[in-house]
């Protein structure tokens, strides 16, 4: 498979630590019951995100250096928010670490990765951003700007899940209840989308973040939705193969986080998804 085809496939893999869990969105009663007892109120401990107080990061050009500067600025802003959130809840926080790469990277704790797109490595708290992925997203789908920030925010959402113990509890519950693993994986990814929206709430005023900006992010959420990816591949729509949720689900939870600014509103495990 060529690099372009691989990266297109990886649009669906904005992953939860060293790649994506193999999961579906089928939600049996047993899986749902287990999910609600797994997650609890960890995110409720975090305060509502503050309103924007300064200028939002901006992509000022099209060069690689401009891209690197923008992604780094978004990363630093998200880091500052979650440090503030955890401090406000008196919960320990270990900072995430940023790595920008193109094509391939060696990640401590998660091994060598090639043509994988952006991913989070829970073993070393690393957020890895593939510059080629963002280039392809812009060239193939015309998506850039705030949509890139949304994806960085999604990876930070996985870091928050790791820091609050949600990721560890998810893994433990998956081992105890393999039948419910697929449904929980989808909800885990949707929660990261919602947490990305919480970060956006703290950075972009309702006026400064235009409808076009939000539309770009929602378009990115749609493109990396499992149903869209199946259509792109000419496959039959089969929710049992989904790993990250449908486009509508991803859009719903990104918007929920942005509009509320409340991490507690991101309880995708007990709330009904679209």
Q: Hunting for tokens 């690393």 — which residue is that?
A: 126
Query: What is d(CA 224, CA 252) in angstroms, rounded to the nearest whole number?
Result: 14
Nearest to 14 by CA among 269, 271, 222: 222
Judged on CB neighbours under 10 Å (0-12, 13-18, 19+), 29 is exposed
Task: Say if residues 175 and 98 touch (Cβ distance below 8 Å).
Answer: no
Domain ranges of the chain: 3-266
pLDDT for 261 equals 96
pLDDT for 80 equals 97
pLDDT for 204 equals 86
pLDDT for 135 equals 84
pTM: 0.81
Query: What is d(CA 4, CA 151) in angstroms, rounded to the nearest whole number?
Result: 19
pLDDT for 271 equals 66
Structure-token pair, residue 120: 């989070």
pLDDT for 54 equals 84
Query: What is d(CA 28, CA 41) in angstroms, rounded to the nearest whole number?
Result: 22
pLDDT for 205 equals 79
Structure-token pair, residue 115: 């043509």
- Is beta strand 111-114 parallel, antiparallel or unpaired with respect to 104-107? antiparallel
pLDDT for 244 equals 61
pLDDT for 273 equals 63
Query: b/e per residue, 1-24, with b = 16+ CB within 10 A?
Result: eeeeeebbbbbbbbbbbbbbbebb
Residue-wise pLDDT tens for the chain (274 aa)?
333 343 444 443 333 333 333 333 333 333 333 444 445 578 999 999 999 988 888 888 888 899 999 999 999 999 999 999 999 999 999 999 999 998 889 888 888 887 677 889 999 999 999 898 888 878 877 888 888 999 999 999 999 999 999 999 888 988 999 888 878 888 898 999 999 999 999 998 766 777 677 777 877 766 664 444 444 445 454 444 445 677 778 888 988 999 999 999 999 988 666 6
């Amino acid at each position: 498979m060529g690099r372009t085809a691989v990266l297109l496939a990886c649009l669906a893999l904005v992953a939860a630590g060293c790649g994506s869990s193999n999961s579906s969105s089928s939600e049996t009663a047993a899986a749902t019951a287990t999910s609600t007892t797994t997650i609890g109120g960890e995110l409720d401990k975090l305060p509502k995100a503050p309103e924007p107080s300064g200028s939002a990061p901006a992509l000022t050009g099209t060069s690689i250096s401009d891209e690197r500067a923008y992604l780094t600025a978004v990363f630093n802003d998200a880091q500052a928010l979650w440090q503030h959130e955890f401090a406000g809840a008196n919960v320990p926080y270990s900072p995430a670490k940023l790595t920008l790469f193109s094509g391939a990277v060696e990640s401590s704790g998660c091994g060598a990765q090639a043509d994988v797109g952006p991913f989070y490595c829970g073993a070393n708290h690393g957020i890895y951003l593939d510059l080629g992925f963002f280039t392809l997203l812009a060239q193939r789908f015309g998506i850039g700007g705030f949509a890139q920030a949304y994806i960085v925010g999604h990876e930070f959402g996985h870091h928050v899940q790791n820091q609050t113990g949600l990721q560890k509890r998810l893994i433990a519950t998956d081992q105890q209840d393999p039948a419910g693993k697929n449904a929980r994986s989808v909800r885990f990814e949707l929660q990261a989308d919602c947490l990305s929206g919480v970060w956006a709430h703290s950075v972009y005023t309702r006026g400064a973040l235009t409808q076009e900006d939000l539309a770009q992010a929602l378009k990115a959420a749609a493109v990396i939705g499992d149903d869209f990816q199946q259509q792109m591949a000419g496959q039959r729509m089969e929710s049992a193969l989904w790993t990250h949720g449908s486009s509508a689900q991803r859009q719903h939870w990104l918007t929920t986080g942005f509009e509320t600014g409340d991490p507690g509103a991101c309880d995708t495990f007990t709330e009904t998804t679209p």
